Structure 1
Amino acid sequence: MNKFENYKNRILLSVTGMSPAVVTETLYALVTEKNFIPTEIKVITTQQGKNKLLESLLGIVGGRKEKEGALSKFIKDYGEQYNFDHLHFDEDSIIVIEDQSGQKLGDIRSEDENTLASDQIVSLVGNLCQNEETALHVSIAGGRKTMGFFLGYALSLYGREQDSLSHVLVDEIFENVPDFYYPTPMSYKINDRNGREIDAKNAKVMLAEIPWVRLGLGVPNDLKENKITYSESVAKAQALLKDPSLTFINGKDGLDNRLVKFGDKEIKLAPRGYTLLLSLVISKIQGFKYATDFRSEKKVIEIYLKIYSYIKNDDAMEARLIPKPKDKNSEPPPNDLIKVLSESREDIRRKLINTFSMSKNAKSPYLPSSSMGVWDLFIDLENIDISQIKHRLSEIGISL
């Protein structure tokens, strides 16, 4: 079974400049090599590039259909072998980079225009990656090198397992030949750059898949609302991905302040989130397993309640973790430890989302993880500083 058939939307996303053939070349390689048949093609370009795309791929000149475009010819040539019934590409599928006033850019030459391109490319990729029913194939074969870089970078930030990245390689003799768009299934004579006759049937086009690092940051809310720029997304990704460190801060109210520095970002955590984070650090220092099995849960509950009860006067939490029997002859009901720890992690996640502009599904070493009932924090002890609150912990009976 074709693995891509599981995805309702299969999008080929490309950047182009004045060589629209990279779109049909990539489409040919995707279809014939990977059996990836797009339901839609989207192209990011400039106004000059759009005009060239309309003329070459769709046969539209000056707003009028004047000839058969290369895309239509491709579908005719390979339509019996592959099903292109759902392939969509029209003028609205071409995204033109705009300036700050909404005017279409004719070209990208200045530093400011580069910045505009980066912001719009990153935003587009992020928004396309919101839909889990979409498989995205990104081609960086065309356009200016910076546009391809931004496109690949954006995919690293927001891409999922089903997404892929490529460049397309074409026989040198067919490169930049005006009438060449893809290898034809039958003989089709054209002239090369020196005027010599060559046959498009003999062309070799190969998809060069590019390995890329899937950072798994998800799609941040700031991006969805177009509140984040390219440079800001870089800074926030670096803050999340550099060597993680934690510093527990002793405020004027001690643990009640619930202040922790995540790297260089100071966050005031919710009571449950702070309790879980500090409990996990204590378990790493003391060397006990932070787990919900019957051997470990007593110690976990003890540490959790010592911290939580100190910073919040809430008898309900103790009732959840050490439930009392209804009468002296009955067994106590099961505790809510698993649920309490999950709720505590969500409290931390919400704070990280707001601070680092990460998505709900993003992965981060700052977020406690659980597997088979065992909880952990994947930050080295040498990068965790609790010196400021050590005396506070002694006050509540926790020795380190």
Structure 2
Amino acid sequence: MVDAHQTFVIVGAGLAGAKAAETLRSEGFTGRVILIGDERDHPYERPPLSKGYLTGSAERDSAFVQQPGWYAEHDVELHLGQPVVHLDKATRTITLGDGSTLIYDKLLLATGSEPRRLDIPGTDLAGVHHLRRLAHSDRLKHVLTSLGRENGHLVIAGAGWIGLEVAAAARGYGAEVTVVESDPTALYRVLGPELGAVFTDLHVEHGVRFHFGARLTEITGQDGMVLAAVTDDGQEHPAHDVLAAIGAAPRTALAEVAGLALASREEGGGIAVDASLRTSDPDIFAAGDVANAEHPLFGGRLRVEHWANALNGGPAAAKAMLGREVTYDRVPYFFTDQYDLGMEYSGHVAPGGYDQVVCRGDVGKREFIAFWLREGRVLAGMNVNVWDVTEQIQQLVRSGRAVDPEALSDPAVPLTSFLD
């Protein structure tokens, strides 16, 4: 039975928002819990959109956080297909797209991020895609199936995680794929040139063509359909469809209107929160992609756009809303599956923030662990087709202690020996 003495509102019905609602109930909160999402689908996880569901190895329903009936069973008021258009922190009210208002005692902003758009001619053509929502994945899955059947061409702008995962899925369907990237390798800003080359080679072996050092300047078409993608060096790539995978921007519009503090672009953007995920307003919290948190482990602000941050950040914010002592200091974690390569990455390295990369195992066979070091300390580790080491890698990152790089590269030296 709900006791309406308090109302906690969650704006954003993705993984972070859904897990926050779940945590409020599991922690014994008996007030109203209102979860609002601007999509019509029930809350879902995003990794399947570019992985299992897109490739056809998982069913659509596998993406959902909870069964549809869970929300009513746990007295969570779920508003789907309903955007929030205004936030007034002075009156502690939000306004929905239909004009109705809600008063909150505590508010969680879990509004996520949105795909960055290509600012070039031709993006209004029917064959130009983005991948952020389940509806996008539905459409893209149909497109890849058709391209594979007809030997069609997909051009992808961006060789980041989404671009590469879609490239792998497209090749699995038999589509021809060209990836256009301004950097010199795939994943250059995330992994650096040393490990970015590993993923470049993986995709080349599977028939993906790369055009590095270039940007798309125009998408040409006829009768509303895509014909080609043109780059700034004058090359023209035949295309039936184009995917823009050039990153995502945090959805901060509500926070801006309400006058909440935001993180600078240099800090990664997003809503500025402290280590308990509280914003500049004591009754408003933020979690997931949109939150830029003071991170005790890394000694600065950090905004993380990966699944694990939503999975863990939502519950942490919910506990903070309940007045619990919370310090959100999780080691960032993400994973990918591309062809026969599986990878997990733990830690955080700013571009150019390391001075050495150490690998143990066989990089050529793509069975290895890579470590990014600065002054002998492990900032991040990536295990490729090597399993059950994530906890040890995260402990190494968390410890902050200097290690012997030569010993670290030796598979015969147990990782636990660096933690003694």
Same fold by TM (over 0.5)?
no
Q: Which has the higher helix share?
A: 1
Q: Which has the higher strand share?
A: 2
TM-score interval, smaller chain = under 0.3
When normalised by structure 2's length, the TM-score is 0.24
